[in-house]
Amino acid sequence: MTTRLHAQVPKTLRVALIVLSLVGLVGALLTFWLGFEEPNSSILWVSVLALATPTGVLVHLKLTRALTDERKRVWWKAFASAQMWSAFSEYLSSPDLAGSADRMASNSRTLEPSNRRT
In a domain, 77, yes or no: yes
* 73 and 31 part of one domain: no
Question: Does 111 score more than 80 pLDDT?
Answer: no
* 22 and 59 part of one domain: yes
**What does the alpha-carbon distance between residue 44 and residue 108 come to, in Å, rounded to a whole number?**
39
* 47 and 91 part of one domain: no
* 56 and 17 part of one domain: yes
Cα first-last separation, the chain = 48
Tens of pLDDT, residue by residue over 3-56, are: 555 667 777 877 887 888 888 788 777 777 776 666 667 767 767 777 777 888
pTM reported for the whole predicted model:
0.63
**What does the alpha-carbon distance between residue 88 and residue 54 come to, in Å, rounded to a whole number?**
7
pLDDT for position 48: 73
From residue 93, alpha-carbon distances to 8, 21, 48, 90, 111 in Å are: 8, 16, 23, 5, 24
Instruction: Give the structural domain span for 38.
Output: 11-63
**Selection from 65, 57, 66 nearest residue 7 by Cα:** 66
In a domain, 2, yes or no: no
Domain end position, chosen among 26, 43, 63: 63
Contact 78, 102 (CB under 8 A): no
